[in-house]
């Protein structure tokens, strides 16, 4: 199903649900299934709740579209980033040999992985499209370790509901639920188009979440936290972007 017809289908479904039984009932169903997103503003933040709930119920096993190698964009657009600080520059000067990704929170074996370790983990490759909410897209080949491998390795506890991921840029952090965290296309990406991931595109390590908009693919990731509650993070809406008014769930 194309994105547009899928959206139509969801909207029709929601209109039926809302019309037949009222938004309150639809919201109750969503809550029953654990499908209230953290930025819903409680049970009656119906817009965000219904988008998230509908997508989760209908598409939780779906894959982001993969493209062929000859569709890779020749001049991918690296979005502008705020200046990278001294700590980043120091790490960069040493070819990121000391870059680490710390994994803490609800894990049996919290860990801190060096870039060399991350590069030695099983690698998955995908050719997918990244799209910014501002309207541009590009297609690239990304390679990296599936986030599910990291979660397995640290012994994620059964009641983990979200993975919070942070960047060396303090204003950049996001979270995803377990449907996306365990999804085979969600990668801790360290390669792009056959090379090490370039700094403008988030190198040395970025989280690639191809089933959501570009802002969920945070660059310069150095910290993952496993949690079942997003309230203690930022303003409690699950990400810097959600705190700023964007949707926490940005499924495409």
Q: How far is the CB of 131 from ligand MTE (least distance, A)?
A: 7
Task: State yes or no: residue 233 binds ligand MTE (CB under 6 A).
Answer: no
Min separation Cβ 192 and ligand MTE, Å: 8
Q: Enter the tokens of residue 214.
A: 């570009």
Query: Least CB distance from residue 174 to ligand MTE, whole Å?
Result: 8
| Per-residue mark of binding to ligand MTE, 95-134 (x: CB under 6 A) | -----------------------------------x-x--
Site residues (CB under 6 A) for ligand MTE, limited to 30-89: 77-79, 81
Find the shortest distance in angstroms from Cβ 139 to Mo ion. Answer: 16
Residue 78 interacts with, from ligand MTE, Mo ion, none (CB under 5-8 Å by kind) = ligand MTE
From 24-32, 112-120, 144-152, 166-174, span contacting ligand MTE (CB under 6 A): 166-174
Per residue, the 3-state secondary structure of the chain, as one string, reads: CCHHHHHHHHHHHHHHHHHHHCHHHHHHHHHHCCCCCCCCCCCCCHHHHHHHHHHHHHHCCCCCCCCCHHHCCCCCCCCCCCCCCHHHHHHHHCCCCCCEEEEEECECCCEEEEHHHHHHCCCEEEEEEEECCCCCEEEEEEEEEEHHHHHHHCCECCCCCEEEEEECCCCCEEEEEHHHHCCCCCEEEEEECCEECCHHHCCCCEEECCCECHHHCCCCEEEEEEECCCCCCCCCCCCHHHHCCCCCCCEC
User: Binding ligand MTE by CB under 6 A: which of 55, 126, 169, 212?
Assistant: 169
Interaction of residue 217 with ligand MTE, rule CB under 6 A: yes
99 binds, among ligand MTE, Mo ion, none (CB under 5 to 8 A by kind): none
Q: Which of 218, 224, 226, 230 binds ligand MTE (CB under 6 A)?
A: 218
Shortest distance, position 214 Cβ to ligand MTE, whole Å: 3
Nearer to ligand MTE, 51 or 167 (CB): 167
Strands 221-227 and 100-105: parallel
């Amino acid at each position: 199903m194309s994105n547009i017809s899928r959206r139509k289908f969801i909207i029709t479904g929601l209109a039926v649900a809302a019309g037949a039984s009222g938004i309150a009932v639809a919201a109750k169903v969503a809550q029953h299934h654990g499908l209230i997103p953290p930025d819903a503003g409680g049970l009656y933040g119906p817009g965000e709740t219904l988008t998230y709930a509908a997508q989760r119920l209908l598409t939780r096993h779906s894959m982001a579209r993969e493209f062929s190698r000859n569709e890779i964009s020749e001049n991918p657009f690296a979005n502008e980033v705020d200046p990278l600080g001294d700590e980043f520059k120091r790490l960069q000067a040493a070819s990121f040999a000391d870059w680490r990704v710390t994994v803490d929170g609800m894990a049996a074996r919290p860990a801190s992985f060096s870039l060399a370790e991350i590069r030695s983990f099983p690698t998955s490759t995908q050719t997918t499209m990244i799209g910014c909410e501002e309207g541009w897209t590009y297609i690239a080949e990304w390679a990296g370790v599936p986030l599910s491998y990291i979660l397995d390795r640290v012994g994620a506890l059964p009641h983990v509901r979200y993975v919070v991921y942070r960047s060396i840029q303090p204003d950049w952090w996001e979270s995803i639920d377990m449907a996306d965290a365990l999804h085979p296309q969600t990668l801790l990406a360290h390669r792009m188009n056959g090379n090490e991931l370039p700094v403008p595109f988030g190198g040395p390590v970025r989280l690639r979440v191809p089933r959501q908009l570009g802002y969920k693919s945070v660059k310069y990731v150095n910290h993952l936290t496993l949690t079942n509650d997003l309230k203690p993070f930022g303003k409690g809406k699950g990400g810097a972007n959600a705190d700023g008014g964007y949707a926490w769930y940005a499924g495409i």
